[in-house]
Amino acid sequence: MKLKISFPEERVKSPILSEVILKTGILVSIVSSRVDSKGGEIIIEVIDKSYETIKEEFETRGAAVTFLDTLICRNKEECIECGACISVCPSKVFGYAQDWSLTMDTQKCIRCGLCVDMCPHQALSIEGTECE
Ligand code: SF4
Ligand code: SF4
């Protein structure tokens, strides 16, 4: 399960991630990180099933937590396989197969939303139900 942790400006300098790992003993992998002096976000992957424990520990330290359980969806009826999403995706979710059809590895999605904005046919969604 991937989780998005959002830090407000006043908590940026606190070692929140280390504290949570030490307190819970739950190991996490950092998928992406974007933090500056005004706040930021990290996406983590937790293999352990204790998502709620991790969430609680982050929240008591002033961070907001979102479960990323709905990954990117493509509406095949709308997709024209133009490839615009391939170049914009930072996680290499999209690619072309040998027959030039679009491929997707949805488990790599970090829900940044860049491809949703880029798609000229509104074929992509991170909230939708029209998944392939
Ligand atoms: S940008 Fe949209 S239309 Fe183009 S290949 Fe990706 S999903 Fe399909
Ligand atoms: S939401 Fe971001 S990470 Fe997920 S497929 Fe789109 S561009 Fe890639």
Is 42's C-beta closer than 6 angstroms to any atom of ligand 2? no
Going from the first residue of the chain to its last (132 residues), give the mean pLDDT of each consecutive group of 10, the final group possibly shorter.
88 88 91 86 85 92 88 92 96 95 90 92 79 59
pTM for this entry? 0.67
Q: What is the topology classification, in CATH, of domain 2-68?
A: Alpha-Beta Plaits (3.30.70)
User: Does the beta carbon of 116 lie inside 6 Å of ligand 1?
Assistant: no
Cα(102) to centroid of ligand 1, in Å? Answer: 8
Query: Which of the listed CATH numbers 3.40.50.620, 3.30.390.30, 3.30.70.20, 2.170.270.10 matches domain 73-125?
Result: 3.30.70.20
Domains of the chain by residue range: 2-68, 73-125
> Strand runs (DSSP E) across the chain, as ranges?
2-7, 28-36, 39-46, 64-68, 73-74, 94-96, 102-104, 124-125
CA distance 125 to 75: 8
Return the pLDDT at 132: 57
The preferred substitution site among 77, 78, 81, 117 for testing ligand 1, maximizing ligand atoms within 8 Å of CB, is: 81
